Structure 1
Amino acid sequence: MDAALANLRERIVAANKTRTPLRLRGAGTKDFYGEALAGEILDTREHAGIVNYEPSELVITARCGTPLSEIERALAAQGQFLPFEPPAFGGDPTIGGVAAAGLSGPRRASAGALRDFVLGVALLDAQGELLYFGGQVMKNVAGFDVSRLLCGSLGVLGLIAEVSLKVLPRPRVETTLRFECSAAQAFEHCNRWRAQALPISATSWYAGSLCVRLSGSASALRAARATLGGETQDAGQAQAWWQDLRDQTHAFFHHARGARLWRLSLPATAALEISGGDLLEWSGALRWLWSDAPASAIRGVAEKLGGTATIWRGVRDASMFHPLAPLNLELHKRLKTQFDPHGIFNRGRLVAEF
């Protein structure tokens, strides 16, 4: 165990003995994300660095405090990238925070979520034990997959000290097509295209424009453009749009058109009328809307459609996350008790009850 990790372990063990809450924090780019920020800050950035990177094996392993930019530079030098496009929110998050938040960017609908690319993690628990789950190869998990469980846990189960991720080669060619259409038309187009063998890696609709990113070989993109039509976007403008969407640096995410910005996760086929001021991603599975409607009303609609609604930004007069069903809440409590019996890690961050 290196000095940085030993120091983190010492702080955790001492906090566990005195029942002192700890707030696990890397670069702080996601301080807005969660129910509460409580406890003494435990800065993870001292435990940093890429432990192992095998381009031929498409696997990279890094310590929790490693900046995302460092990992992306190393991958880019080998023509590879993180397919789930983790958002940076205008900063430079640590890879531990990326894994703990479990958020994915525009490519999520085609490539998969962050948890789909996590091969293994090392977890520092409340007793100071370093636990290893998963590994550095695919199909190495038998039974309960704790590695994926930790994705999106927001650090309430322990400190993710190290993470191994599957990476992929960058697409040979990418181009973005633009279509002038209404939200209803965009929804119809996306659902029709999802049923076809098209190299679509991302979609978004905003302010009367549907943008469709194609990724793959030059021949595949030529065939797709002939099938889809649309206007080919300038490469620089297209790249800027997808980057702003990924990192949520676009003005849409910060200009309060209503009391709250909602993040709705819904089945892609769910019919939901959206206004000209809202934004649609993931072929309709992810929908953003500003609204001053009561939280109960928004969440009621989401539940009827088989999804959830999260208060992303703005007035917080209700829980940020969609309330858990009683059985799911009980499972969460049992996991919390098993991993962190005295509740020292990120108290109240994921669920107010613990």
Structure 2
Amino acid sequence: MDDALQTLRAQLLDAAATRTPLDLRGHGSKAAWRPEPVRAEARVLDLTQLAGISAYEPTELVVTVRAGTSLAELEATLAEQGQCLAFEPPRLGGRGTVGGMVASGLAGPSRASVGSVRDFVLGATMLNGRGELLSFGGQVMKNVAGYDVSRLLAGSWGTLGVLCDVSLKVLPRPVATVTLRFALSAPEALARLTAWSRQPLPLNASLWHEGVLLLRLSGAQAAVDAACQSLGGELLDDAVAMPLWNSLRDRTHALWAFAAQGLPAGQRLWRLSVAPHAPMLRLRGEGLIEWHGGQRWLLSDEPPAAVHEAAAHAGGHAECHVGAAPGEARTALLSPVLARLNRQVRASFDPLGLFSPHASTHAH
């Protein structure tokens, strides 16, 4: 255990001795995206001291990175070798760390085609609530020992422990990428996306907003060319398409910009994760659809109960991203069975509840 890890462990043990909750923080770029707020009395544990790329084997398509490493540094290193993080993690304000990327589990426009952050995690090391350094998974794609535990950290928002190092699968940048534009209503766009998803097409990302469907194709040049001829549509110039995809990836699209300026009373910005083939939901408001229909954003004055019910009926769930009233839950409550499992998992890693956003979420 090196000096940086020793320092973090000492800080963690000191917090454990006084039962002081911890706020695990890198750049703090994703604070607004937390599903639950951090307790006011929480002490900040700065993870940026855990920085650097520990190992990188371009020929093996694997990189091992310390949690406090900036996402920009990692992506620049991969780009030098013609490789990338295929799931396109958001670069919120040009900031963010690798640890925050994994802990949040946030992925960009290509998520429905290439997989989530969890699908690219091969292994990890972490400090649990007892200050023990645990290792899960491995540093090669063929190693599956402890695979599920390392993946469990993706999307856990730091509630299980302090992520120290993570091994990730990386991929070569696609040879060819094009964007097609179609003028379609939302129901028409969903029908097309459902049909196209059943065909052997090099689909990479999609975006529907205000009567326009954008479809991004990526892969071998021959496959992309053949798909363009088959699908039709208007070929969008890269100079126009790239800023649009980046705005979707980095959450700077007009929909988020409007929400960030302050919503009118009663309005909320919702993220709905539903079955991609689900029809349009009968909810009022302005929408944006991505992930081939699987992720839908809704700006609406609908009561929260109606939105949660509609999302559940469509095979998914809803989360209020902006506009939740004070004390209002941003997500629907877990079922009793899932809530019990959640408490048991948290308690096994964090018996004192140091990493739990709320004392009530922890099983004592």
Evaluate the alpha carbon distance shift between residue 291 and residue 276 of structure 1 in structure 2; reply closer, same or farther with a 3 A threshold: closer
Mean Cα displacement is larger for which, 34-43 or 134-143?
A: 134-143
Deviation sequence 1:6-62 (CA, Å, 0-9, x none): 111110011111101110001111111221122011110011000000000000000
In structure 2, what is the equivalent of residue 131 of structure 1? 134
SS in 2 for 1:93: coil
**In 2, distance between residues paired with 1:247 and 1:163?**
22
**In 1, distance between residues paired with 2:360 and 2:308?**
18
In structure 2, what is the equivalent of residue 14 of structure 1? 14
Q: Confirm whether residue 224 of structure 1 aligns to residue 233 of structure 2.
A: no
Q: Confirm whether residue 308 of structure 1 aligns to residue 323 of structure 2.
A: no
What are structure 1's unaligned runs of at least 5 residues?
Answer: none
Q: Is the contact between residue 179 and residue 215 of structure 2 (CA under 8 Å) also seen in structure 1?
A: yes
In structure 1, what is the equivalent of residue 352 of structure 2? 342
Evaluate the alpha carbon distance shift between residue 199 and residue 40 of structure 1 in structure 2; reply closer, same or farther with a 3 A threshold: same
**What one-letter code is carried by the residue in structure 2 that aligns with 1:289?**
L
Deviation sequence 1:241-279 (CA, Å, 0-9, x none): 111100101121131366211000000111124778310
Q: CA shift at 1:164, angstroms?
A: 0.4
The one of 174, 198, 201 equivalent to 2:201 is: 198
Query: Which TM-score applies when normalising by structure 2?
Result: 0.93
Q: Confirm whether residue 36 of structure 1 aligns to residue 37 of structure 2.
A: yes
Q: Confirm whether residue 89 of structure 1 aligns to residue 92 of structure 2.
A: yes
SS in 2 for 1:203: strand
Q: Is the contact between residue 182 and residue 212 of structure 2 (CA under 8 Å) also seen in structure 1?
A: yes
Q: Size of the alignment, in residue pairs?
A: 352
**What one-letter code is carried by the residue in structure 2 that aligns with 1:6?**
Q
Q: Which has the higher contact order (CA 8 A, sep 6+)?
A: 1
Q: Is the contact between residue 183 and residue 275 of structure 1 (CA under 8 Å) also seen in structure 2?
A: no
**In 2, distance between residues paired with 1:352 and 1:240?**
42
Evaluate the alpha carbon distance shift between residue 144 and residue 54 of structure 1 in structure 2; reply closer, same or farther with a 3 A threshold: closer
The one of 264, 270, 281 equivalent to 2:272 is: 264
The one of 62, 67, 75 equivalent to 2:65 is: 62
SS in 2 for 1:255: helix
SS in 2 for 1:53: strand
**In 2, distance between residues paired with 1:339 and 1:216?**
41
**What one-letter code is carried by the residue in structure 2 that aligns with 1:189?**
R
SS in 2 for 1:299: helix
What are structure 2's unaligned runs of at least 5 residues?
Answer: none
**In 2, distance between residues paired with 1:96 and 1:196?**
36
**In 2, distance between residues paired with 1:128 and 1:229?**
57
Evaluate the alpha carbon distance shift between residue 146 and residue 42 of structure 1 in structure 2; reply closer, same or farther with a 3 A threshold: same
Q: Quick one: percent identity of the two aligned structures?
A: 48
**In 2, distance between residues paired with 1:94 and 1:143?**
24
**What one-letter code is carried by the residue in structure 1 that aligns with 2:333?**
P
Q: Is the contact between residue 31 and residue 37 of structure 1 (CA under 8 Å) also seen in structure 2?
A: no
**What one-letter code is carried by the residue in structure 1 that aligns with 2:336?**
P
SS in 2 for 1:163: strand
The one of 297, 314, 329 equivalent to 2:306 is: 297
**In 1, distance between residues paired with 2:122 and 2:332?**
28
**What one-letter code is carried by the residue in structure 2 that aligns with 1:117?**
F
**What one-letter code is carried by the residue in structure 2 that aligns with 1:216?**
G
**In 1, distance between residues paired with 2:257 and 2:174?**
31
Q: Is the contact between residue 155 and residue 345 of structure 1 (CA under 8 Å) also seen in structure 2?
A: yes
**In 2, distance between residues paired with 1:28 and 1:346?**
17
Q: Is the contact between residue 207 and residue 276 of structure 1 (CA under 8 Å) also seen in structure 2?
A: no
**What one-letter code is carried by the residue in structure 1 that aligns with 2:54?**
V
Q: CA shift at 1:4, angstroms?
A: 1.5
**What one-letter code is carried by the residue in structure 2 that aligns with 1:263?**
R
**In 1, distance between residues paired with 2:357 and 2:192?**
44
Q: Confirm whether residue 102 of structure 1 aligns to residue 112 of structure 2.
A: no
**What one-letter code is carried by the residue in structure 2 that aligns with 1:342?**
L
Q: Confirm whether residue 48 of structure 1 aligns to residue 51 of structure 2.
A: yes
SS in 2 for 1:69: helix
SS in 1 for 2:14: helix
SS in 2 for 1:279: strand
Q: Is the contact between residue 193 and residue 293 of structure 2 (CA under 8 Å) also seen in structure 1?
A: yes
Mean Cα displacement is larger for which, 265-274 or 217-226?
A: 265-274
Displaced runs of 4 or more, over 4 A? none
**In 1, distance between residues paired with 2:138 and 2:245?**
32
Evaluate the alpha carbon distance shift between residue 26 and residue 77 of structure 1 in structure 2; reply closer, same or farther with a 3 A threshold: same
Q: Is the contact between residue 50 and residue 63 of structure 1 (CA under 8 Å) also seen in structure 2?
A: yes
**What one-letter code is carried by the residue in structure 2 that aligns with 1:37?**
V
SS in 1 for 2:103: helix
**What one-letter code is carried by the residue in structure 2 that aligns with 1:314?**
G
The one of 176, 181, 188 equivalent to 1:178 is: 181
Q: CA shift at 1:315, angstroms?
A: 2.8
Q: Confirm whether residue 283 of structure 1 aligns to residue 292 of structure 2.
A: yes
